[in-house]
């Protein structure tokens, strides 16, 4: 069970009052995170808020997991930050729309189930790398502009910034020990805000970065040329964004499934996420995906239906339209403290405690994925490489399991009893177990405790029967499935068929579904 699950009681019944209150709580907690994530991406805060509204509303209505909250996230921000710096915000909008199209295609092709192929070490590395990126991005808040260039703060501005960040973190740590009625992040922001305003403290605020005053998200076609060159620029980012968004969304969906003991619809969620991102790109948003932290806040408050997500999105828009003057006065130190705690909460600390207990190859995979995530800022590539390495390690370990028990019976017939799977990884070890030249005239190979898993195994059997045939020796292959016998092209009458005992599994081929 995920460590978060032990913190909450999830046995509450669905209730409209609870749904509305949970939605209000989530909406209040979304504001600082949406602003902070948009700043991580190098975009105006309003772009993150609009994305949180559009993505949150569409996925709440159309998504495959009621109770799950989506919006602007750190994972998406990290992906698009380079594009925003090199090509500008219009290319970001175009990328978000293309990413949404890719996600819809994934859902329509019913590929959401592929998330099951991501092993835990890969997810540990992915989440830990993301946590480090979020933390490192907060260091820029300790810089200020001097003659047009960013330099580290010194003296009183630095000490004030550190003190306010420390106060924010302290509130978020200690307040939940007394009450969870109000999000600790919201309380921390309010306290720091009141402190700064009351004492007239001069520190960086959201308004110093950009204005977030706005109305309803405006419809806006991306101002980019519709050319092949533009597609070449945005497609890599769109593919990464689509992959990262679906990975994070489907993992969150699985987590909520475990909490609520219900089953979400992964492919429907893929289509909903894609639709939400298309609309986000058309309505001045940076795109997004499911949010693990906000989803847990929502579920822990007892929300189980779509209403909570809808309320959260609508109330967020109300705050944008009528609460902008207050939000612009929020100290950046408060948002920095919140994001540091988000990074700390995102990091899978249990993975460190498990280092001495996990296989070394799992530790290597986790560290490698985290390193790629941190240094290349390419989350999808990190996960893909991790999955490939984990699969190769699994194949290697499985290949070492094939073995053969050999003996000669009283009639002088040599028996090979095969144990373990016969597939592409174990073919070499399988062939090394036979001594064709020195074997007696009659040989029996028994596959009762083995399984031929793919065409590489079939080909290995074909070549083995050919070797014994050329040596003028009689070979019996026993306990093969009907599928194996049909695919063996040169076995002929060498196969002993035992109808009662032969297995019925099928070999993986292009023809066999």
287: left (phi over 0), alpha (psi -120 to 50) or beta: left
pLDDT of residue 508: 58
pLDDT of residue 418: 92
How many CB atoms neighbour CB 412 within 10 A? Answer: 9
Radius of gyration of the chain from Cα atoms?
A: 29
pLDDT of residue 350: 81
What does the mean pLDDT of the chain come to? Answer: 83
Looking at the DSSP assignment, which residues form a beta bridge with residue 153? Answer: none
Selected residue with higher pLDDT from 147 and 35: 35
pLDDT of residue 271: 95
Least confident span in 269-278, 440-449, 467-476, 485-494: 485-494
Residue-wise pLDDT for 55-82, tens only, equals: 999 999 999 999 899 999 888 888 898 8
For strands 474-478 and 442-452, give the pairing. Answer: parallel
Answer yes or no: is pLDDT of 505 > 70.
no
Selected residue with higher pLDDT from 30 and 507: 30
pLDDT of residue 509: 56
Confidence band, pLDDT 50/70/90 cuts, at residue 269 = very high
Least confident span in 163-172, 245-254, 284-293, 310-319: 245-254
pLDDT of residue 178: 85
Helix axes 74-87, 228-260, angle to 10 degrees: 170
Residue-wise pLDDT for 100-134, tens only, equals: 999 999 999 988 777 767 787 887 887 788 788 87
For strands 403-408 and 442-452, give the pairing. Answer: unpaired
Answer yes or no: is pLDDT of 498 > 50.
no
Confidence band, pLDDT 50/70/90 cuts, at residue 8 = very low
Least confident span in 5-19, 101-115, 127-141, 306-320: 5-19
Q: What's the Cα-to-Cα distance from 511 to each of 437, 455, 461, 487, rounded to whole Å?
A: 36, 11, 19, 11
Contact in structure between 422 and 475 (CB atoms under 8 Å):
no
Domain ranges of the chain: 3-219+227-327+336-392, 400-494
pLDDT above 90 as % of the chain:
30
pLDDT of residue 380: 65
Stretch 312-330: mean pLDDT? 87
Answer yes or no: is pLDDT of 489 > 80.
no
Residue-wise pLDDT for 397-449, tens only, equals: 888 888 999 999 989 999 999 998 888 889 999 999 999 999 999 999 998 88
Handedness of CA 387, 389, 390, 391 (dihedral sign): positive
pLDDT of residue 507: 66
Q: Structure pTM?
A: 0.70
Answer yes or no: is pLDDT of 496 > 90.
no
Selected residue with higher pLDDT from 301 and 220: 220
Q: What is the CATH number of domain 400-494?
A: 3.30.750.24
Cα–Cα distance for residue pair 265/107, rounded to 1 Å: 10
pLDDT of residue 379: 66
Contact in structure between 286 and 52 (CB atoms under 8 Å):
no
Cα–Cα distance for residue pair 169/167, rounded to 1 Å: 5
């Amino acid at each position: 069970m995920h460590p978060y699950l032990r913190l909450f009681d999830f046995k509450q019944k669905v209730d409209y009052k609870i749904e509305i209150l949970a939605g209000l709580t989530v909406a209040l907690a979304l504001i600082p995170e949406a602003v902070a994530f948009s700043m991580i991406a190098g975009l105006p805060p309003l772009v993150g808020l609009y994305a949180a509204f559009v993505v949150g509303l569409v996925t709440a209505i159309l998504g495959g997991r009621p109770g799950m909250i989506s919006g602007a996230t750190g994972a998406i921000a990290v992906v698009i930050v380079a594009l925003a710096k090199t090509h500008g915000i219009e290319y970001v909008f175009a990328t978000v729309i293309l990413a949404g199209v890719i996600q819809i295609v994934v859902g329509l092709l019913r590929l959401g189930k592929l998330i099951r192929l991501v092993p835990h070490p890969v997810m540990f590395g992915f989440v830990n790398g993301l946590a480090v990126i979020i933390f490192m991005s907060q260091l820029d808040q300790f810089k200020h502009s001097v003659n047009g260039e960013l330099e580290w703060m010194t003296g009183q501005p630095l000490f004030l910034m550190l003190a306010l960040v420390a106060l924010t973190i302290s509130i978020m740590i200690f307040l939940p020990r007394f009450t969870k009625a109000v999000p600790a992040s919201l309380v921390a922001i309010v306290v720091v805000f009141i402190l700064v305003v009351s004492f007239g403290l001069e520190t960086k605020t959201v308004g110093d970065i950009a204005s977030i005053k706005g109305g309803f998200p405006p419809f806006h076609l991306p101002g980019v040329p519709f050319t092949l060159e533009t597609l070449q620029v945005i497609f890599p980012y769109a593919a990464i964004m689509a992959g990262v968004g679906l990975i994070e969304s489907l993992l969150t969906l699985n987590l909520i499934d475990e909490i609520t003991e219900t089953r979400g619809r992964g492919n429907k969620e893929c289509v909903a996420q894609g639709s939400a991102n298309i609309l986000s790109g058309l309505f001045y948003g940076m795109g997004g995906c499911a949010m693990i932290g906000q989803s847990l806040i929502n579920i822990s408050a007892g929300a189980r239906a779509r209403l909570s997500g809808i309320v959260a999105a609508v109330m967020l828009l109300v705050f944008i339209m009528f609460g902008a003057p207050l939000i612009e006065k929020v100290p950046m130190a408060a948002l920095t403290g919140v994001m540091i705690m988000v990074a700390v909460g995102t990091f899978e600390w249990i993975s460190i405690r498990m280092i001495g207990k996990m296989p070394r190859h799992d530790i290597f995979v986790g560290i490698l994925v985290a390193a790629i995530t941190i240094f290349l800022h390419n989350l999808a590539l990190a996960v893909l490489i991790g999955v490939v390495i984990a699969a190769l390690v699994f194949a290697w370990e499985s290949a070492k399991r094939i073995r053969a028990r050999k003996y000669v019976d009283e009639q002088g017939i040599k028996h090979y009893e095969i144990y373990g799977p016969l597939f592409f990884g174990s073919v070499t070890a399988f062939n090394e177990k036979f001594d064709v030249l020195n074997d007696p005239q009659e040989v029996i190979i028994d596959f009762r405790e083995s399984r031929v898993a793919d065409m590489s195994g079939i080909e290995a059997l074909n070549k083995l029967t050919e070797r014994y045939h050329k040596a003028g020796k009689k070979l019996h292959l026993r306990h093969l499935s009907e599928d194996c016998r049909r695919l063996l092209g040169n076995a002929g009458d060498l196969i002993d068929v035992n109808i009662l005992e032969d297995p019925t599994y099928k070999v993986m081929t292009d023809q066999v579904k």
